Chains A and B, each alone.
Chain A
């Protein structure tokens, strides 16, 4: 399947882009992270410490074991600092 992957804040900077379209057979978010980290050193650096990474699947907060079936947009970002 094809999903849009979005990056925010320092994840965006480390990956070097804000958004990319990805062809994947990943079953969970964690599988997708492994595929992305294997792409190049920038992705690997951005996704090296998953305790510092938060995830949204189709614009809802999700955890690493969330299934990707049917998902269109996966976003990775640091812990939020709103307010």
Chain B
């Protein structure tokens, strides 16, 4: 029997992260993933194969979400890891940190409703050819919870044009039929954008929380598991037939 080694994930813990344990727990439900926590004061990411920047309120979201966290020592290492092609997933606050750090284009503004919003959204997979969505088909719907105050994605028009051409819009908020619709977008994000990747496709940020959506018996359902499945599959050496 040939055993394929588990994929090594690092989950970064910033002061104020509060979905770090959830991300670790979610990954631990996959038999072929190993997880370790990376401390924000660390200067190296070690030998991990993928990094998750978790949700939460790093530094209380004070000043701007992600603004202080992005200066953490670990972020220098994460940047180098990303530039070398490593997979980096930013969830919610992690997404905000990635935009603040310049690893993803755009920025996340206050929700148009000016309120924190926790609810289920339907997400359409717009691009299934990324390492984060490979386990999905294009047009698939994922039902996952969002919970944030600042998820209103914005980017300048010139960059947006390039992003579209480059298929960097990976997830959009849609209705239960998979259609773009008023009311489907919980935060006012530009063109219903819920998740984007960088030009090379190895850095991905999304506002909804896949780590709260890996176990069917819980309220969060299991649709989010596809994001982690995709990452694991992308990193596992092909199993010999």
A pairs with B: no
List residues of chain B with CB under 8 Å of any chain A CB: none
List residues of chain A with CB under 8 Å of any chain B CB: none
